[in-house]
Amino acid sequence: MRGLGVRLGAWVAVVIAGAAGAWPPKVPLPVVGPMLQPPQPPPGAVPDLWFPVGEQLKYTLQWGLLNVGTALAWSEWVNEEGRWQLALRLRTRSNAVLDAIYPVDDYIESRVDPATFLPIRFIKKINEGRNRYDEVTVFDYAEGVAQWRSLLRGREKELPIDETIRDIPTLLYWFRRERLAPGDERELRVMADNKIYTVLPRPVAMETIAVPGFGPVRCIRYEPAAEFNGLFVRKGKVWLWVSDDDRRVAMKIEAEVPVARVRAVLSEIRQPPRVGGAGVEVRDLRRALAQ
């Protein structure tokens, strides 16, 4: 599940074989975390969205019984050459438990046109053990092409696209807009790893799950089907629990692999400040999600 910064098969191999020698130089990250005071568009400059821009979602990553890192997803407004864009960002870092054998420090970002909610540019910078990726994809829907480039390997590829194709972050936020019911069989298309894939969200059941710090939360359980580096594992099964309320927050993601089960569990929510007031307290959101 590289979208959460873990490369499961490689973890298993490294733990079994052990890590030796110095790690290669890291790919530098353009952003390391949320801005303290990000720019804000003036009233009427951007459309209203179905989630609060400035929200931060923090996840604890677990491998079997071990906590091995954290993932922070957040959104910010960016003004680039006079054009307001939405930045959807995710940074994943391993903790001391994992750093010695398989350090992870990953970053992905989607720059999004807020009017269409289609990606303008996708950035992927991966540091996982000895693996390094530094890639950029530019989407041109007017011309019907996406230009993918590997900055480390000097490779390029052009793919035909239409307005049904998204990148990984906009796909994840798509889950927060649509309320799917068990049995809904629609298909989505996403570009990842310089290829275009079909993704089946596959909502299968309504469940109430216990999330530490949040209590019981009523969720829609998805069993998405896809095989590409960046969101779902290549082997095994994946489950995704999304809160069944207006927020539609991913509460938990699990992936089952041969030797362990990997989880990303929501541990904290922070929302942007209200106009003329303080930000929403985390405990208030926990109470609301558990209702």
List alpha helices for 6-76, DSSP H: 8-17
Strand runs labelled E in the chain: 56-63, 66-80, 83-94, 105-113, 118-128, 131-140, 145-150, 155-160, 165-166, 188-192, 195-199, 203-211, 215-222, 237-243, 250-257, 260-270
From 269, 273, 231, select the one nearest 247 (Cα to Cα): 269
Q: Give the architecture (CATH level 2) of 2-14+50-289.
A: Beta Barrel (2.40)
Most confident of 46-60, 187-201, 228-242: 46-60
Residue 156, beta-bridge partner list: 149
Model pLDDT for residues 125-158, shown as the tens digit of each residue = 999 999 999 999 999 999 999 999 999 999 999 9
User: How is the chain split into domains, by residue range?
Assistant: 2-14+50-289
Neighbouring residues of 206: CB distance < 8 A, sequence distance ≥ 6: 182, 218, 219, 220, 221, 244
Model pLDDT for residues 164-193, shown as the tens digit of each residue = 999 999 988 987 888 888 888 888 899 988
Model pLDDT for residues 20-67, shown as the tens digit of each residue = 458 899 999 999 999 988 999 999 999 999 999 999 999 999 988 899
